[in-house]
Chains A and B, each alone.
Chain A
Amino acid sequence: MTATPHQQSNRPPHPPPNPAPHASPSWSARSPWRRRGKLGSDTRAAYAFMAPALIGFTVFVVYPLIRSVYFALTRYNGLTAPTFVGLDNFRRMFTTDPSFWPSVRATLLLVVLYVPASLVIGLALAVFCNRRIRGVRLLRTLVYLPVVLPVVATITLWKFVFNPQVGLANQVLTWLHLPTSEWLSGEGSALPSIVIVMLWSVGSTMIIFLAALQAVPTELYEAAKLDGAGSGTVFFRITLPLISPIMVLQVVLQLVTALQTFNQPKILSPDNIGGPGFSTRVLMLSIYNNGFPKLGQVADFGYASAQVWVLFLVIVVVIAATARFSSIWTYSDHVS
């Protein structure tokens, strides 16, 4: 810390250890020693600047987190005081509630249908749009367009597209001489229809992949071309490994998004509670139905909170599994 004369004489071109304030601001900014006297004022300023976010973090993150655990262990309708019932909500969920397992099934089915499809289509579109060709910018804009539109607006639009009699979807199928579907009103086709609506907004995935693709150095492609590599080899041996960190991020983002899907099943199901049957009553919608029921019914905050924790646990497990799995196949240049 206290520089010996020997060390000092070793670096004559550098500024002296205690420069005058005007001597070299950029160098001294990085040196913590000069500003030791000011540290206190910086700390105070920092906490003043962060105060709103710190208050928000306490009130909107920490407090609900703790409270939610407590709620999950109580019977609580939001009107009378909560009564502690231990793990009774969970027992009810796993054994007697007829809608719980169907909602788990709907949630997982939605994830299984949506996440791989959105990644594959998003990446394929990004590769397709990563050419320098006239009109490619317009195409990117059009693919991204549905992402910009309000979710409620696009969902309600699709509700009419899927109308069995006068909707666009069946009309297009008829033109192509394909069998029509009952879409949202069929128990088997309702969830896939919702996935189609979600996939229409694949533009957000596409844009992120496109950014990743454009960061791949072109020399690598040129070198591969010189070596006579085919486009398939180039994609799987160069492109995919280099964008794999973004890929992992995307997988996690999409999983978390899909697990928390709410708007589409809520607005698109004919009864607004996730029908027909339990076909689109995903966990988020189940939580909403229990916590914020229709007029005249009593809310069940305790039970809904317990379901929140089940969903939360699923999210944590899925993220942890993805992180663990991804470290195996993600290309990383840390070794080099």
Chain B
Amino acid sequence: MTTSPDVTKASEPAPSPRPTPAPTAPRRPRKTVRTASWYAVALLISSVMVLPLLWMLTIALKGQSAVFQVPPRLLPDEFHFENFIDGPKAIHFPRLLLNSLVITGLSVLGGVMTAMMTGYALARLRFPGRRLWFYVFVGSMMLPPVVGIIPLFQLFKDIGWYDTWLPLIVPAFLGGNPLFIFLARQYFLSVPHSIDEAAKVDGAGHIRIFFSVMLPITRPAWITMSILAFQFSWNDYLNPLIYLYSSEKWPLSVGMASFVSQFAGQTPDWNLYMAANLLYMLPPLAVFFVAQRYFIQGLSALGTVNQR
């Protein structure tokens, strides 16, 4: 299996210089069949993944009556591009988008900053108790967030933060995601010790080392974290649902979900909804395509959790 690409590459453009063509000749048809069946299965898999999304796009372009045509038709007869204006209007999309951007932006900044600082301390400073704190932070990664929801709700309500964005933002600045602390520490461990030793010799303090030496070196780490943090916050549904009562403070996630459920039992304007929903999907999609390799890195880092 692992040698197969070399065989195809070598045998197709230059079949003659091979000294022994005899063994490849009977193998070729079997290989072609295998490659063909691979593509057949690949096509099936990708259609399962993509078909719902394409269908969504066609609904977003359909007129009101065409959505409920029985039997449904895949392609719209006429294109209603105005859905992309009317749909967002129906749920005050611009306001929700702004809310989402502010909440997500601040919690990304806070989460990444705190995690990098904590990771720096845990990985690069010698002090009594650093193992203990590492285990404490990793341990809290295992603790299901559900345990905290009711006491935290009560706490935030008591200090007057109910129906504000603070419960969604402030915890990020206080090390809200232990996974990021873990990732930061792992990355800091891989930075050679000679670097900050050299900076120290030049007279730099910890703050200077952290900002001018470490942050530039660890760029891949905090980019990865920022992307993950963006994704978590942009997608978060339960927390804004619990803490935000006024609909004008909602982020897009709650707004989109309520757009569907306020019509519970009835029929929402699916064409308008799908148009707005596509716009809601765009920012994470854009981030994904720009920073694809960091996305994969961040996830694969999970796979190394128990290897160090």
Q: Do A and B come from one complex?
A: yes
Residues of A within 8 A of B (CB): 21-22, 25-26, 28-30, 32, 35, 39, 42-43, 45-50, 52-57, 59-61, 63-65, 67-68, 71, 78, 125, 128, 131-133, 135-136, 138-139, 141-146, 148-153, 155-161, 165-168, 171-172, 174, 200, 204, 207-208, 211-212, 218, 221-222, 231, 245-246, 248-249, 253, 256, 259-260, 262-263, 267, 270-272, 284, 287-288, 291-292, 301, 304-305, 308-309, 311-312, 315, 319
Binds A, one of B11-19, B21-29, B78-86, B259-267: B259-267
Complex contact B303–A30 (CB within 8 A) = no
| Given A49-B206, A148-B284: A308 touches B125 (CB 8 Å cut-off) | no
Question: What are the residues of chain A within 8 A of B259 when measuring CB–CB?
Answer: 156
Q: Complex: how many Å from CA A305 to CA B146?
A: 9
Q: Complex: how many Å from CA A131 to CA B7?
A: 13
Q: B143 interface residue, CB < 8 Å from A?
A: yes
CB distance from A238 to the nearest CB of B (A): 12
Contact with A along B43-60 (1 / 0, CB 8 A): 001101111110110010
Which of B41, B133, B192 has the most C-beta atoms of chain A within 10 angstroms of its own C-beta?
A: B133
Complex contact B126–A156 (CB within 8 A) = no
Question: What are the residues of chain B within 8 A of A29 when measuring CB–CB?
Answer: 193-194, 197
Which of A47, A166, A207 has the most C-beta atoms of chain B within 10 angstroms of its own C-beta?
A: A166
Contact with A along B273-308 (1 / 0, CB 8 A): 110010011001100100010011001101101110
Question: What are the residues of chain A within 8 A of B197 when measuring CB–CB?
Answer: 25-26, 28-29
| Given A133-B35, A308-B147, A312-B144: A139 touches B231 (CB 8 Å cut-off) | no
| Given A46-B125, A57-B175, A270-B264: A160 touches B50 (CB 8 Å cut-off) | no
Q: B98 interface residue, CB < 8 Å from A?
A: no
CB distance from B255 to the nearest CB of A (A): 9
Complex contact B150–A208 (CB within 8 A) = no
Query: Which 8 pairs, one residue from A and one from B, show the smallest C-beta to C-beta distance?
Result: A56-B174, A53-B175, A64-B148, A67-B151, A25-B197, A49-B121, A64-B151, A43-B127
Q: Complex: how many Å from CA A46 to CA B153?
A: 31
Complex contact B45–A143 (CB within 8 A) = yes
CB distance from B192 to the nearest CB of A (A): 7
Contact with A along B173-200 (1 / 0, CB 8 A): 1111000010000000000111001100
Question: What are the residues of chain B within 8 A of A46 when measuring CB–CB?
Answer: 121-122, 125, 127, 130
Complex contact B261–A267 (CB within 8 A) = yes
Q: Complex: how many Å from CA A290 to CA B264?
A: 20
Q: Complex: how many Å from CA A61 to CA B254?
A: 25
Number of interface residues of B (CB under 8 A): 108
Docked complex: B229-243 residues within 8 A CB-CB of A:
231, 234-235, 237-238, 241-242
Complex contact A166–B72 (CB within 8 A) = yes
6 contacts between A and B (CB under 8 A): A35-B126, A50-B122, A52-B118, A166-B69, A249-B303, A260-B144
Question: What are the residues of chain B within 8 A of A231 when measuring CB–CB?
Answer: 1
| Given A61-B143, A133-B35: A25 touches B198 (CB 8 Å cut-off) | yes
Complex contact A26–B306 (CB within 8 A) = no
Q: Complex: how many Å from CA A249 to CA B306?
A: 8
Q: Complex: how many Å from CA A52 to CA B142?
A: 20
